[in-house]
């Protein structure tokens, strides 16, 4: 069955586009038919896709959209796992996207300011559709490795008993930097590859794939 995963966080720079590309690339690695719908005018995923060589083996379809995405757009897409990247603002189309998505994935960075943005994002989602299944992926993009990410996980789990906070987290690594013809899977960094595969396995498990 077709599943739609919406990547959402009202804050910019928390890794929405990075996660969109890497999740989809990892789904491909696991032989799922998967694609990204890029609803951000800045079009990070779209640009990446356009700049890739024709014979780049790590590629997948990135649908660019001009305007709002609705249920009909989703139905017309062949791929079974659809990842939707969003702009760093909560807007009217996000409400429609929340309605039509099966899961919402919030990338969250472990700082106080990010926690506030995560909180606002969760409130927004619950206002639109209280029964939404929310998954949080902690993207530890801070320079200094502390235990803040573990504290954040505990805090989120205590605060939101109905939200799934992934055990597997993403850490700051150059391997994640998006460049044409590259994702973590095209680089030599095995740690990063393992990190993404473990995260994706956890997410697939949770969504019943
Ligand atoms: N885990 C990570 N390690 C290193 N750099 C990262 C990581 N996640 C994101 N970045 C970088 O942080 C910046 C913002 O990420 P991006 O995915 O564009 O965020 P958003 O889409 O939420 O605005 C980009 O320059 C990206 O390369
Ligand atoms: Mg982005």
Q: How many domains are there within the chain?
A: 1
Residue nearest (by alpha carbon) to ligand 1 atom 13: 13
Q: Is 193 in the pocket of ligand 1 (CB under 6 A)?
A: no
- 8 close to ligand 1 (CB < 6 Angstrom): no
**Residue with CA nearest ligand 1 atom 27:** 177
Of all atoms in ligand 1, which is nearest to the CA of residue 172? 3
| Mean pLDDT score across all residues of the chain | 94
Q: Which atom of ligand 1 is nearest to the CA of 85?
A: 21
Q: Which of 27, 79, 38 has its CA nearest to residue 196?
A: 27
Given a cut of 80, whether residue 75 has pLDDT beyond it is: yes
User: Does ligand 1 come within 6 angstroms of the Cβ of 13?
Assistant: yes
How would residue 3 be classed by pLDDT, with cut points 50, 70 and 90? very high
Indicate the top mutation candidate among 6, 7, 12, 13 to test ligand 1's pocket, ranked by most ligand atoms within 8 A of CB: 13
Model pLDDT, residue 107: 97
Tell me the C-alpha to C-alpha distance, in Å, between residue 191 and each of 30, 137, 176: 18, 17, 11
For residue range 145-197, list pLDDT tens digits in order: 667 888 889 999 999 999 999 999 999 999 999 999 999 999 999 999 999 99
Residue 86 belongs to domain with CATH number = 3.40.50.300
Q: Measured from the CB, is residue 47 less than 6 Å from ligand 1?
A: no
Strand partners, 165: 136
Residue nearest to atom 1 of ligand 1 (CA): 172
* Residue 17 Cβ < 6 Å to ligand 1: yes
Check residue 144 and give its pLDDT: 67
Exposed / middle / buried, residue 8 (Cβ in 10 Å: 0-12, 13-18, 19+): buried
Q: How far is CA 72 from CA 18, 76, 97, 100, in A?
A: 26, 6, 12, 10
Q: Which domain holds residue 99?
A: 3-206
- Residue with the smallest CA separation from ligand 1 atom 15 is 15
Q: Is 83 helix (H, G, I), strand (E, B) or coil?
A: strand
Whether pLDDT at 142 is above 80 = no
Q: Residue 110: CB within 6 Å of ligand 1?
A: no
Tens of pLDDT, residue by residue over 99-132, are 999 999 999 998 888 889 999 999 999 999 999 9
More confident position, 120 or 67:
120
44 C-alpha to ligand 2 centroid (Å): 6
Percent of the chain with pLDDT over 70: 99
Is residue 30 pLDDT above 90, yes or no? yes
Cβ-based burial of 127 (10 A; exposed 0-12, middle 13-18, buried ≥19): exposed
- Whether 16 lines ligand 1, by a CB cut-off of 6 Å, is yes
Ligand 1 contacts CB of residue 137 (under 6 A)? no
The pLDDT > 90 percentage for the chain reads: 84
CA dihedral of 198, 200, 203, 207, whole degrees rounded to 10: -130
């Amino acid at each position: 069955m077709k599943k739609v995963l919406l990547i959402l966080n009202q804050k910019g720079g928390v890794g929405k586009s990075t996660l969109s590309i890497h999740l989809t690339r990892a789904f491909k690695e696991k032989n799922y038919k998967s694609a990204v719908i890029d609803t951000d005018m800045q079009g990070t995923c779209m640009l990446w896709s356009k700049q890739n060589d024709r014979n780049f083996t790590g590629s997948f379809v990135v649908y660019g959209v001009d305007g709002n995405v609705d249920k009909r757009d989703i139905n017309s897409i062949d791929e079974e796992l659809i990842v939707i990247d969003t702009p760093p603002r909560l807007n009217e189309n996000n409400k429609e996207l929340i309605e039509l998505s099966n899961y919402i994935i919030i990338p969250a960075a472990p700082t106080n300011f990010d926690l506030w943005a995560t909180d606002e994002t969760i409130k927004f989602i619950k206002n639109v559709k209280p029964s939404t299944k929310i998954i949080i992926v902690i993207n530890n993009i801070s320079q200094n490795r502390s235990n803040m990410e573990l504290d954040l996980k505990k805090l989120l789990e205590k605060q939101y008993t109905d939200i799934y906070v992934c055990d597997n987290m993403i850490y700051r690594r150059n391997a994640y930097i998006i460049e044409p013809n590259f994702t973590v899977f095209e680089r030599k960094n095995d740690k990063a590859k393992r990190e993404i595969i473990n995260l994706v396995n956890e997410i697939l498990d949770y969504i019943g794939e």
